[in-house]
Amino acid sequence: MITPDKHAVISGGGLAGSLLALVLANRGMRVTVFEKRGDLRNLKAPAGKSINLALSERGIHALTKVDLADQVLKGTIPMRGRMVHARDGTTSFLPYSRDESEYIRSVSRPGLNRILLEKAGLHPNIELHFNSEVISTDPDKRVVSLNSVAASGREVSYDLLFGADGAGSPVRSSLHSFSDIGYRQEMLRHGYKELSMPASADGSFVLEPEALHIWPRGTYMLIALPNMDKTFTCTLFLPFDGEPGFDQLKEESQISAFFDSQFQDAVPLIPSLLTDFMTNPTGRLGTVRCDKWTYGDTALILGDAAHAIVPFFGQGMNCAFEDVSVLAEMLDEGNHQSWSDLLHEFEKERIANTNAIADMALTNYIEMRDLVSDPAFRLRRSLALELEKRFPERFIPKYSLVSFHRVPYKQAQEIGRRQDSVLKTLCEGKQGIAEIDWGRAETLVAELGAMNWAR
Ligand SMILES: Cc1cc2nc3c(=O)[nH]c(=O)nc-3n(C[C@H](O)[C@H](O)[C@H](O)COP(=O)(O)OP(=O)(O)OC[C@H]3O[C@@H](n4cnc5c(N)ncnc54)[C@H](O)[C@@H]3O)c2cc1C
């Protein structure tokens, strides 16, 4: 049987690591967290990394495990749909759901991490160490080596090690050197740059706040998510090379000409555009996959360390949080004979699902940057929402399955594939929703079968 009298070391006190610390400590384990950065509880938001994120059902569910959902949700802004900005400055709103109670939420990354760290810092079973970088681990000896500012070269022993240290995970690299975990990383040939859109002179939002704004431009896009201080954080996603590409935007005149021609309505709203563009780093995006996340009963990687994904489904953090909630549920079931059993079952279930969301996130980039402007796509999307309204037990669109439900990602992906084929068939040759053959729709939806999971 699994006993809680273990010492767990967590590498990384980011989103997944700090949530995991609380989940393990609440179940009686002694937990030591090593975080490379300084103590976020005393720092301002670090520049350069996306400062707000879309939080949805899976992430919220995980926060309920540590009684933090209500506190976190108070500091979020609903995003009820996509506000699409055409080149000529006109806008159109595409709702995420037919149901007004279903929306995603914009949350501050450092704010959320701070809430988790504050609660962890008060827990008697948790020790937090900042400015403490894990360099490597020897899982056979069960020790981590630290390059801690306070005590350089220190070694710390553990019973269980959790690598929650992000896409560049040193724990993953160490494990890979002990046993082949089938690690591979595929970098996107597109990067991202963050820009700030301040509040208006009277302190209000300059765009509709309850929306995720998108300026889709085919091979690239600009997006904006609202913040609680009435600002927006904009992110430009663009190829590294080509026309247009980051390599073509070196001089102020090139940057201005590009934005003036492509994002005319956004430019006056981003007064620090040139400074932000020249000074903020260009971020890289990629997908990490591994065939194994464990080393016997000794170590587990999770969150971005195990499965970094591109951000276009707004699921990286939600998925990392779901790792933690699934682990918590397996611990609470209490029917594993050993840590080794539990870790292997966890790994088996999660790898299939995280591979599915990794694929869906890559596909969603094309939807966001291109398809949202396409009338045929818009018709399919309207039809999907209408089918959900007419046949709620049989048709829940893929976006909703991923964002507003907790149906396993792999199942959502499979259901989504079958739905796509129904939507294409029904929309063939049609210009608008009024032309849909509802009798045929009923037959095709019935063939999809009932949803075999609880709403
Ligand atoms: C532009 C962008 C937009 C995104 N938007 C969304 C979104 O809208 N919704 C969503 O759900 N997800 C989004 N994501 C994904 C999300 O940011 C990640 O999936 C999430 O942060 C993963 O959490 P994590 O704790 O696993 O990793 P991280 O957040 O990367 O945390 C890892 C932690 O480990 C620490 N660390 C690293 N190395 C070491 C070391 N050697 N020793 C000790 N500590 C170490 C780091 O300092 C960090 O605190 C986005 C990502 C990007 C890049």
Residue 453 lies in a domain: no
Same domain, 275 and 421: no
**Ligand 1 in reach of 315 Cβ (< 6 A):** yes
| pLDDT computed for residue 4 by the predictor | 79
Ligand 1 site, residue 282, Cβ cutoff 6 A: no
Ligand 1 centre distance from Cα of residue 308 (Å) = 8
pTM: 0.96
Sign of the C-alpha dihedral, residues 15, 21, 24, 25? negative
Number of domains in the chain: 3
Same domain, 17 and 165: yes
Among residues 305, 335, 365, the one where a domain terminates is 365
Least Cα distance to 408 among 337, 333, 322, 329 occurs for: 322
Helix ranges restricted to H, 27-95: 57-64, 69-74
Which one of 169, 187, 300, 304 would you pick to mutate in the ligand 1 pocket, going by the greatest count of ligand atoms within 8 A of its CB?
304
* Closest ligand 1 atom to Cα of 53: 8
Residues 177 and 238 in one domain: no
Residue 317 lies in a domain: yes
Ligand 1 centre and the CA of 381: distance in Å? 31
Distance between CA atoms of residues 2 and 105, nearest Å? 37
Output the pLDDT for position 278.
Answer: 97
CATH number at residue 66: 3.50.50.60
Q: Of 239, 254, 284, which residue sits at a domain end?
A: 284
Ligand 1 contact, 163 CB (< 6 A): no
Same domain, 17 and 122: yes
Q: Is 133 in the pocket of ligand 1 (CB under 6 A)?
A: yes
Residue 79 near ligand 1, beta carbon < 6 Å: no
Asked if 246 and 361 sit in the same domain, the reply is: no
Q: What does the pLDDT read at residue 455?
A: 41
Tell me, using a 6 A CB cutoff, whether residue 35 lines ligand 1: yes
Taking CA atoms only, the protein residue closest to ligand 1 atom 48 is 14
Q: Is the CB of 61 under 6 A from ligand 1?
A: no
Q: Is 314 in the pocket of ligand 1 (CB under 6 A)?
A: yes
**Cα distance between residue 455 and residue 453, in whole Å:** 7
Residue from 11, 22, 53, 287 whose mutation best tests the ligand 1 pocket (most atoms within 8 A of CB): 53
User: Do 394 and 350 fall into the same domain?
Assistant: no
SS3 content of the chain, % helix, strand, coil (to 5): 40, 20, 35
Q: Is residue 95 part of a domain?
A: no
Strand partners, 92: 84
Residue 111 CB partners (closer than 8 Å, separation 6+): 75, 228
Atom of ligand 1 nearest to the CA of 37: 47
Within this chain, do residues 259 and 112 fall inside the same structural domain, yes or no? no
In the reported structure, the alpha carbon of residue 168 is separated from the centroid of ligand 1 by a whole-number distance in angstroms of 10
Judgement on whether residues 55 and 38 belong to the same structural domain of the protein: yes
**Separation between Cα atoms, residue 87 and residue 341, nearest integer Å:** 55
Tokens of 143: 């020790």
Amino acid sitting at position 88 = D
Domain that includes residue 300, residue range: 7-79+106-185+286-365
**Digits of tens for pLDDT over the chain (455 positions)?**
677 789 999 999 999 999 999 999 999 999 999 999 999 998 765 444 458 999 999 999 999 999 999 999 999 999 999 999 999 999 999 999 989 899 999 999 999 999 999 999 999 999 999 999 999 999 999 999 998 756 666 899 999 999 999 999 999 999 999 999 999 999 999 999 999 999 999 999 999 999 999 999 999 999 999 999 999 999 999 999 999 999 999 999 999 999 999 999 999 999 999 999 999 999 999 999 999 999 999 999 999 999 999 999 999 999 999 999 999 999 999 889 999 999 999 999 999 999 999 999 999 999 889 888 899 999 999 999 999 999 998 999 999 999 999 999 999 999 999 999 999 999 999 999 999 999 999 999 999 876 655 44
Q: Output the six-digit token pair for 176.
A: 């890979």
365 within ligand 1 shell (Cβ under 6 A): no
Cα 235 to Cα 202: distance, rounded to the nearest angstrom: 24
Please tell me if the CB atom of residue 244 comes closer than 6 angstroms to any atom of ligand 1: no
Residues 229 and 215 in one domain: yes
Q: How far is the CA of 269 from the centre of ligand 1 (A)?
A: 28
Q: Tell me if 93 is assigned to some domain.
A: no
DSSP for 353-420?
Answer: HHHHHHHHHHHHHHHHHTGGG-HHHHHHHHHHHHHHHH-TTT---HHHHHHT--S-HHHHHHHHHHHH
Atom of ligand 1 nearest to the CA of 135: 41
With a 6 Å cutoff on the Cβ, whether 223 touches ligand 1 is no
Q: Do 331 and 194 fall into the same domain?
A: no
Put residue 48 in one of left, alpha, beta given phi > 0 → left and psi -120 to 50 → alpha. left
How many angstroms separate the CA atoms of 93 and 97, rounded?
A: 12
Pair 21, 73 in one domain: yes
Q: How far is the CA of 166 from the centre of ligand 1 (A)?
A: 5
Q: Give, rounded to a whole angstrom, the gap between the first and last alpha carbons of the chain.
A: 33
DSSP secondary structure, 282-321, as one string: -EEEEEEE-S--EETTTEEE-THHHH---GGGS-HHHHHH
> Rounded to the nearest 5°, which phi and psi values hold at 375?
-55, -35
Q: Is residue 358 included in any domain, yes or no?
A: yes
Contact 198, 355 (CB under 8 A): no
Q: Say whether both 159 and 300 belong to one domain.
A: yes
Cis peptide upstream of residue 110 (ω within 30 degrees of 0): no
In a domain, 1, yes or no: no
Predicted local confidence at residue 42, as pLDDT: 85
Distance CA 294, CA 291 (A): 9
Is ligand 1 within 6 A of the CB of residue 304?
A: yes
For residue 273 and ligand 1, the question of a CB distance below 6 A is answered with no
Using DSSP, state whether 179 is helix, strand or coil. coil
Residue 180 is assigned to a structural domain of this protein: yes
With respect to residue 455, please indicate whether it lies within any of the assigned structural domains. no
Question: Is 195 close to ligand 1, i.e. is its CB under 6 Å away?
Answer: no
pLDDT score of 203: 96
Query: Is 192 a pocket residue for ligand 1 (Cβ < 6 Å)?
Result: yes
DSSP 117-135: HHHHHT-TTEEEESS--EE
CA distance 131 to 37: 5
Å from CA of 374 to ligand 1 middle: 32
Helix (H) or strand (E) holding 276: helix 273-279
Retrieve residue 408's tokens.
């396993």
Task: Tell which of 284, 306, 330 closes a domain.
Answer: 284
Q: What is the pLDDT of residue 372?
A: 87
